[in-house]
């Protein structure tokens, strides 16, 4: 038996040695035949990246001037997707009528100043002095009447405010007393309830009385605060208007008195003064016309309305009135991984694809970004790295392809840049 075992082990040992020799020999032969040449991967021919379509010129957010920020839109004259010419009116603001009135008032002041200049140049005529005196008295009467009217308005607002405030404060005190009584009664009934002397419904009724009194007191305090806020605002507005009337009336009276003093004599200094006043009135008129023009939101250049953010009757928000851009020249902003950006060069050709597009678009690299940022365009595939670092590369589409996607701003696309 032992001899049989030793014989089996010897055969196995010989077989293993032969196998080992054959393997080593074939390995050496293979190495000798290949000369141990390392395998190299082929150089990449494309750099692929996700991107988005956008006009080559930046999208402009049309809004109101700073002085009219927060105004309401009266009319929107165009729709999304409409082509617009440079200077074409897109929207009209609600302040147009008010600014138009300011232009008309300024025009009247110009007319008055022109008439005054003509009058001084022609010299005094019979009855002119008396007429000017009457004008001064008229301006004084109007000034006093307007001033007294607003003084009375301020007094009325203050008196009404004082009365409303006193009445509401009295109401608050009464409600506070009622609340105190309700709490005392509730506490008393709680003791009776704990002794089993009153029912659940009665103690619930007393608790409801406390809650009702608290609510009434809170509402009364809110009404008082609202009354104070409203009256304070009305007083402030009335005082501002009174100050404006005082300033305007004083200036008008002073100008009329100066005219009265100089109307009898034609002097060069008087002519120059009247001419200066006319120029000043014209300047005010020009300023009013400029303000009126700002109520008309115009296209700064030819382009297309991409998105309307504010409709007629709505206030202008931070989003502006509409997004506007020149879509005749479209480009792609491709987000190229930072590890591939060294392969991208200006002028390289690129292919642009998207399931939305029926065919591939073509373009050329025209700009390579100077910053590394986080990726903003994603494929939404499982396991995708959402924290990749990319560099934006701008690709200009061919003119014929730009026309095909003029209405697809911000469309997500796939780009392949040829190396």
pLDDT at 358 over 70: yes
Kindly state whether residues 160 and 244 are assigned to the same domain: yes
- Mean pLDDT, residues 240-269: 81
Which residue did the predictor score with more confidence, 4 or 196? 196
**DSSP for residue 341:** G
pLDDT at 315 over 50: yes
Q: What CA–CA distances, in Å, run from 258 to 8, 20, 119, 141, 266?
A: 139, 126, 13, 17, 13
Q: What gap in Å lies between CA 279 and CA 275, rounded to an integer?
A: 6
Q: What gap in Å lies between CA 400 and CA 328, rounded to an integer?
A: 10
Kindly state whether residues 159 and 256 are assigned to the same domain: yes
Q: Is the pTM of this model over 0.75?
A: no
**Number of domains into which the chain is organized:** 4
Q: Is 188 among the domain residues?
A: yes
Kindly state whether residues 132 and 238 are assigned to the same domain: yes
pLDDT bracket for residue 258 (50, 70, 90)? confident
Q: Is 197 among the domain residues?
A: yes
Kindly state whether residues 167 and 183 are assigned to the same domain: yes
Q: Is 194 among the domain residues?
A: yes
The DSSP element (H or E) to which 51 belongs, if any, is: strand 46-55
Q: Is 44 among the domain residues?
A: no
The DSSP element (H or E) to which 15 belongs, if any, is: helix 2-34
Kindly state whether residues 229 and 213 are assigned to the same domain: yes
pLDDT at 209 over 80: yes
Q: What gap in Å lies between CA 207 and CA 212, rounded to an integer?
A: 9
pLDDT bracket for residue 333 (50, 70, 90)? very high
Q: Is 167 among the domain residues?
A: yes
Q: What gap in Å lies between CA 383 and CA 262, rounded to an integer?
A: 89
Kindly state whether residues 334 and 400 are assigned to the same domain: yes
Kindly state whether residues 194 and 316 are assigned to the same domain: no
Q: What gap in Å lies between CA 231 and CA 158, rounded to an integer?
A: 8
395 with 368: CB under 8 angstroms? no
Q: Which domain holds residue 167?
A: 124-264
Kindly state whether residues 355 and 404 are assigned to the same domain: yes
Kindly state whether residues 344 and 307 are assigned to the same domain: no
pLDDT at 17 over 80: no
Kindly state whether residues 128 and 259 are assigned to the same domain: yes
Kindly state whether residues 307 and 343 are assigned to the same domain: no
Kindly state whether residues 165 and 177 are assigned to the same domain: yes
């Amino acid at each position: 038996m032992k001899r049989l075992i030793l014989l089996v082990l010897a055969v196995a040992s010989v077989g293993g040695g032969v196998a080992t020799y054959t393997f080593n020999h074939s390995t050496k032969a293979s190495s000798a035949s290949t000369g141990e040449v390392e395998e190299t991967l082929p150089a990449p021919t494309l750099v692929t990246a996700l991107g988005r379509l956008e006009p080559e010129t930046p999208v402009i957010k049309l809004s109101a001037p700073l002085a009219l920020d927060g105004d309401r839109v009266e009319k929107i004259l165009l729709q999304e997707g409409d082509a617009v010419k440079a200077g074409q009116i897109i929207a009209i603001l609600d302040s147009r009528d008010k600014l138009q009135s300011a232009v008309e008032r300024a025009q009247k002041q110009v007319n008055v100043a022109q008439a005054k200049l003509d009058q001084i140049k022609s010299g005094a005529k019979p009855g002119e002095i008396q007429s000017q005196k009457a004008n001064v008295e008229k301006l004084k009467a109007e000034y006093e009447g307007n001033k007294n009217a607003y003084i009375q308005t301020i007094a009325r607002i203050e008196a009404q405010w004082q009365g409303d405030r006193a009445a509401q404060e009295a109401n608050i005190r009464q409600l506070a007393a009622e609340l105190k009584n309700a709490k005392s009664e509730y506490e008393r009934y709680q003791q009776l309830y704990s002794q089993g002397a009153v029912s659940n419904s009665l103690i619930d009724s007393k608790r409801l009385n406390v809650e009702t009194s608290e609510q009434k007191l809170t509402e009364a305090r809110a009404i008082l605060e609202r009354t104070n806020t409203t009256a304070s605002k009305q007083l402030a507005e009335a005082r501002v208007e009174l100050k404006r009337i005082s300033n305007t009336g004083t200036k008008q009276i002073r100008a009329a008195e100066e005219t009265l003093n100089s109307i009898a004599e034609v002097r060069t200094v008087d002519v120059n003064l009247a001419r200066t006043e006319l120029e000043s009135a014209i300047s005010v008129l020009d300023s009013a016309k400029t303000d009126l023009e700002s109520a008309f939101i115009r296209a700064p250049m030819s382009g297309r309305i991409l998105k309307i953010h504010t409709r007629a009757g709505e206030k202008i928000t931070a989003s502006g009135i509409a997004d506007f851009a020149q879509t005749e020249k479209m480009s792609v902003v491709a987000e190229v991984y930072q590890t591939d950006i060294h392969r991208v060069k200006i002028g390289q050709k690129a292919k642009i694809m998207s399931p939305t597009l029926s065919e591939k678009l073509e373009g050329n690299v025209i700009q390579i970004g100077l910053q590394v940022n986080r990726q903003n365009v994603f494929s939404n595939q499982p396991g995708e790295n959402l924290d990749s670092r990319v560099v934006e590369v701008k690709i200009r589409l061919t003119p014929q392809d730009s026309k095909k996607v003029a209405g697809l701003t911000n469309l997500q696309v796939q780009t392949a840049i040829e190396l």
